[in-house]
Amino acid sequence: MAGDILLGTLRAQLEDERAQLRRQLTDMDGDGGHGLTFDENFADSGQVAAEQGEAKMLASSLREQLVDVEHALAKLAGDGYGSCEVCGSTIATLRLEAMPATRYCIAHA
């Protein structure tokens, strides 16, 4: 019973995180009308290039997080959630609570 409650809580956290990551990516891509824009005519083109690079890195990081969250949700729906993908051992509950999308036990993190 407690395990089912924990899994339900973790599923809800993962679903919330997925929604948040999708919103952030949509905003960054401009699909939501809030996209990041850069003034190409700005006097300091180096500053613009640096900001564009940072935005691309952030978007890449968000996409990677989204992949991990979707992977965890798929494992929750099927089988294997909470098992380390390297050694197969059970991931500690405290680790899952702190990082619901983790794929690895602490020894393989």
| pLDDT, greater one: 83 or 50 | 83
Delineate the domains of the chain, giving CATH numbers in brackets.
2-36+44-108 (1.20.120.910)
Model confidence at 102, pLDDT cuts 50, 70, 90, reads very high
∠ Cα 80 84 85 (to 5°): 80
pLDDT digits over 8-27, tens only?
Answer: 999 999 999 999 999 999 99
3-state secondary structure at position 83: strand
The owner of tokens 């619901």 is: 100
* pTM more than 0.85: no
**Buried/exposed 67-97: b ≥16 CB within 10 Å, e otherwise:** ebbeebbebbeeeebbbbeeeeeebeeebbe
φ, ψ of residue 33 in degrees (nearest 5): 80, 5
**Please, what sign has the CA dihedral across residues 10, 14, 15, 20?**
positive
Please give the residue that has the higher pLDDT: either 106 or 36: 106
Task: For residue 91, give the DSSP letter.
Answer: P
In the predicted model, is pLDDT for residue 38 greater than 60? Answer: no
What is the rounded distance in angstroms from the CA atom of residue 45 to the CA atom of residue 94? 47
Q: Is the pLDDT of residue 92 over 70?
A: yes
Q: Quote the percentage of the chain above a pLDDT of 90.
A: 68
Token representation of residue 45: 């083109």
34: pLDDT strictly greater than 60: no
